Amino acid sequence: MSVKIAPSVLSCDFANIQRDVEMINNSAADYFHIDIMDGVFVPNISFGFPVMKAISKHATKPLDVHLMIQNPDQYIEQFKDAGAEILTVHYEACPHLHRTIQAIKDAGMKAGVALNPHTYVDLLEDVIEELDLALIMSVNPGFGGQKFIKNSIWKVEQLHNLIQKRGSHALIEVDGGVNGDNAKSLIKAGADMLVAGSYVFNSESPTETIEALKRT
């Protein structure tokens, strides 16, 4: 199975967002990765429901929505209504994580949990069998274009081992600083999905860059 690619819309040209949505539609990408930031959990603010709904209207591929926000539980239904197929919350933002995961599934979405760079993989052991996706942050969340944290490759391997040990079907996604130099190591360690933002949108040919990542 080839790796799945989810270009991060956070890195697109917001003045030409429909053009970039069409580019992803016509590329080898598998998902749209949508980062939602509240300026509280992370020191940045991204787009909200109106922009997400506009993307969903034109997108022909599923929306992989990554919530970098406090109190995600109160918005679960709204994200479903805005078009999310996968909804990923942060371990660090959910004091009642199992309940949050169940609420996401009850709303009809696939449930994911993200880990910040400093958060231990084994903290997911009690919920890994409930997850559809586990996301390793390979940069500190909040901004695009950051340098990849090399220890993330080891964390992916740890997560892969945990998934195998517990018989989980969760996919492993990696987000932050992913490029042609580290993609092969991440896939070898067990990554199933790669989020790529700046690497795709700052390249001369984003569609060719996506295809090259798919062939890694």
Catalytically active residues are 35, 175
Whole-angstrom Cα distance, residue 32 to residue 210?
12
**DSSP 8-state secondary structure symbol assigned to residue 159:** H
In sequence order, what are the beta bridge partners of 171?
A: 133
Strand pairing class (193-196; 171-175):
parallel
Residue 185 Cα to chain centre, angstroms: 18
CA distance 193 to 187: 8
**Cα 77 from chain centre:** 19
- How many residues in total does the chain contain? 216
Amino acid identity, position 40: V
Q: Which helix (H) or strand (E) holds 171?
A: strand 171-175
